[in-house]
Amino acid sequence: MPTAYPEDSVGLVTPQQLHFSEPLELACGRSLADYTLVYETYGTLNADRSNAVLVCHALSGHHHAAGYHSAEDRKPGWWDSCIGPGKAVDTRKFFVVSLNNLGGCNGSTGPASHNPQTGQPFGADFPVVTVEDWVHSQARLADALGIAQWAAVIGGSLGGMQAMQWAISYPERIRHCMAIASAPALSAQNIAFNEVARQAILTDPQYHDGHFIAKGVIPKRGLMLARMVGHITYLSDDSMGEKFGHRRKNEQLNFDVHSVEFQVESYLRYQGQEFSERFDANTYLLMTKALDYFDPAGKYDGDLTRTLADVQADFCVISFTTDWRFSPARSREIADALIAAQKNVCYLEIDAPQGHDAFLIPIPRYIQAFSSYMNRITF
Amino acid sequence: MRADLDIIQEWIPAGSRVLDLGCGDGDLLYWLRENKQVTGYGLEIDPKQIANCVDKGINVIEQDLDQGLGNFASNSFDVVVMTQSLQALRYPDKVLREMLRVGRTCIITFPNFAHWRCRWYLATKGRMPVSEFLPYTWYNTPNIHFCTFRDFEALCREMQVSVRDHLAVDHQHRDSLISRLWPNLMGEIGIYRVSGPAHAE
């Protein structure tokens, strides 16, 4: 029975998976003997396989970027505002691939997967994966799909880091790189927030050194706290102020430190709660580590210009004015290094009040620029 | 292409690297890329203009000139162009110095406040000149640092900047005998090609 989805939606999508049995050497020195990647595709790959776009997800993202898994789905994929027929990433033009990264908890091999060596879930034994490792695994996915070169690799935040890494690691396999609300490396403040999040999980009594699945529990409180602190950094002071202000749930103060009195408390607890029920604690730890470790210029004495010297892709770098997690100054570092390396780059600083989350929100100027850039990609 | 850009492009050698400050919709860089194999970047702050640049495939960087050009290496461009923006800058002298640091040659265009119509307006009405070409009133104008050709040339001398070429044209960018004879009186727009002491030919 056909169900009506919005006209600019990719509609019903079914995740696919591919198993890779060739071992993947990881930056940590360990390797994964074999692994599975879950992905979705939208649109149609053209005859000469030149219209493929890779979408890379951020910290808590996954392969389900657009469309619906069932007619009952309340919400579409996480980047549905930008992917679909007639949208910024126009699926009438592009063949879009979106995967769940290694170490994830949405179907790709990760800490909750079965470890063939122990017969138990990997848990904390899952190797620490880096952005580079992800890009190498994505390259194998591209090989399997017959995509020799991406028309574009795009991503926001941690996803933007992957897009950048693609341009560095596989210069001949990517024609356009779109890094949105991203950074060439984390700041000390970023790492500090990640560390608070990790400590919240690691010190939860239910964490059990990362082997909580075997014990039949989850470190819910730790995950909830991690998400709460993370969530604060994704919003701006203004957007929180507008959304919650000093508003209380009830007129009366309780003079009680346990109860939820302010709306912002209630919102954060809800966000944390909801997240702790759907996300794996070990995956969260891995994702924050991947963020912390990302530093492509590290191999070049911190010289980002030299790091980007062999890049062939044209870049589009976008930041948002109130993003203090990955501030415009960090995006400008990327743009400046690209200019110094004499690469093609557009840099846009979108005036938006939503903070880091802005990259997920259909802000007119952002969407227009995103669409314009994608429109000019020819194949 | 805008008439002044047509004049400017003649001063830009084929294959050069160009930085266009206040590049607008990217027309100049587009034309130079298509016709003279020029590469480079345009700086702009107007979202609409930036969008036009993105559409054309121009390397556009959202950047406020008043924040300086600290992110550009010295001598990293052959030509730095700035059309019709000098008078709207907070620190025109500092930007000029920065342009000369970043580029070997700079091309600058700006309206001449000593044009006879401005003088006549001020002399007869005793008020800040408003015209079709410069339609703003004093309190809402983006043009906060008007100058005359003589003022600009004095600044160049002060900064040891050599003027390599100079053209005085009317607001439709037409060159005429009369504006050549009395540029500071008859010229509406000045087009200057300058270079710093380090690049004196």
φ and ψ of B63, to 5 deg:
-155, 135
Strand, helix or coil for residue B46: coil
Q: Mean pLDDT over residues A360-365, rounded?
A: 96
Contacts of A309 (CB under 8 A, 6+ apart): A341
| Contact call for residues A99 and A141 (beta carbons, < 8 A) | yes
How far does B36 lie from chain A, in Å, by closest CA?
A: 17
> d(Cα B3, Cα B183) in Å, to the nearest integer?
18
For B40-55, how does the pLDDT look when each residue is reduced to its tens digit (9 = 90+)?
A: 999 999 999 999 999 9
φ and ψ of A105, to 5 deg:
-130, 30
Report which of A115, A291, A107 is spatially closest to residue A210, judged by C-alpha positions. A115
CA–CA distances in Å: residue A69 to residues A8, A78, A362, A364 = 16, 12, 22, 27
A269: tokens are: 């607890």
Bridge partners (DSSP) of residue A248 are A262
Residue B80, chain A, CB below 8 Å: the answer is no
For B20-36, how does the pLDDT look when each residue is reduced to its tens digit (9 = 90+)?
A: 999 999 999 999 999 99
Q: How confident is the model at residue A99 (pLDDT cuts 50, 70, 90)?
A: very high
> d(Cα B194, Cα B149) in Å, to the nearest integer?
13
Residue window 31-60, chain B: list those with CB within 8 Å of chain A. Answer: 39, 41, 47, 50-51, 53-55, 57-60
pLDDT at B199: 59
Q: What is the pairing mode between strands A176-180 and B17-21?
A: unpaired
Radius of gyration, CA atoms only, chain A:
21
Q: What is the pairing mode between strands A152-156 and A52-56?
A: parallel
Q: How confident is the model at residue A81 (pLDDT cuts 50, 70, 90)?
A: very high
pLDDT score of A250 more than 90: no
For A42-55, how does the pLDDT look when each residue is reduced to its tens digit (9 = 90+)?
A: 999 999 999 999 99
Q: Mean pLDDT over residues A228-239, rounded?
A: 95
pLDDT score of A172 more than 50: yes
Q: How confident is the model at residue B170 (pLDDT cuts 50, 70, 90)?
A: confident
Q: Is A209 an active-site residue?
A: no
pLDDT at B1: 73
Which one is catalytic: A57, A63, A176, A356?
A356
> d(Cα A211, Cα B13) in Å, to the nearest integer?
67
| Contact call for residues A11 and A79 (beta carbons, < 8 A) | no
Give the nearest partner residue to A332 out of B51, B60, B71, using CB atoms.
B71
| Contact call for residues A217 and A206 (beta carbons, < 8 A) | yes
How far does A325 lie from chain B, in Å, by closest CA?
A: 20
pLDDT score of A286 more than 70: yes
pLDDT score of A122 more than 70: yes
Q: What is the DSSP string of A29-74?
A: S-EESSEEEEEEEES---TTS--EEEEE--TT--S--SSBSSTT-S
A159: tokens are: 């996803």
| Contact call for residues B44 and B60 (beta carbons, < 8 A) | yes
Q: Mean pLDDT over residues A124-129, rounded?
A: 97
Greater model confidence, A246 or B198: A246
Strand, helix or coil for residue A375: helix
Q: How confident is the model at residue A2 (pLDDT cuts 50, 70, 90)?
A: low
| Contact call for residues A59 and A287 (beta carbons, < 8 A) | yes
pLDDT at A1: 43
For B74-102, how does the pLDDT look when each residue is reduced to its tens digit (9 = 90+)?
A: 999 999 999 999 999 999 999 999 999 99
> d(Cα A239, Cα A324) in Å, to the nearest integer?
12
Greater model confidence, B19 or A118: B19
What's the one-letter identity of residue A261?
A: E
Strand, helix or coil for residue A289: helix
Q: Do A368 and B51 count as a contact with CB atoms less than 8 A apart? A: yes
Q: How confident is the model at residue A200 (pLDDT cuts 50, 70, 90)?
A: very high
Residue B73, chain A, CB below 8 Å: the answer is yes
Q: Mean pLDDT over residues B3-20, rounded?
A: 93
Bridge partners (DSSP) of residue A24 are A32
Q: Which helix (H) or strand (E) holds A350?
A: strand A345-350
B55: tokens are: 């559409």
CA–CA distances in Å: residue A78 to residues A13, A89, A150, B25 = 13, 14, 21, 33
| Contact call for residues A176 and A313 (beta carbons, < 8 A) | yes
CA–CA distances in Å: residue B146 to residues B63, B95, B187 = 22, 15, 14
Give me chain A's average pLDDT, please: 96
Q: Do B62 and A368 count as a contact with CB atoms less than 8 A apart? A: no
Residue A275, Cβ neighbours under 10 Å: how many?
Answer: 19
**What global pTM score does this model have?**
0.95
Residue A180, Cβ neighbours under 10 Å: how many?
Answer: 28
What's the one-letter identity of residue B178?
A: I
ipTM score for this prediction:
0.93
CA angle B42, B46, B52 (to 5 degrees): 65
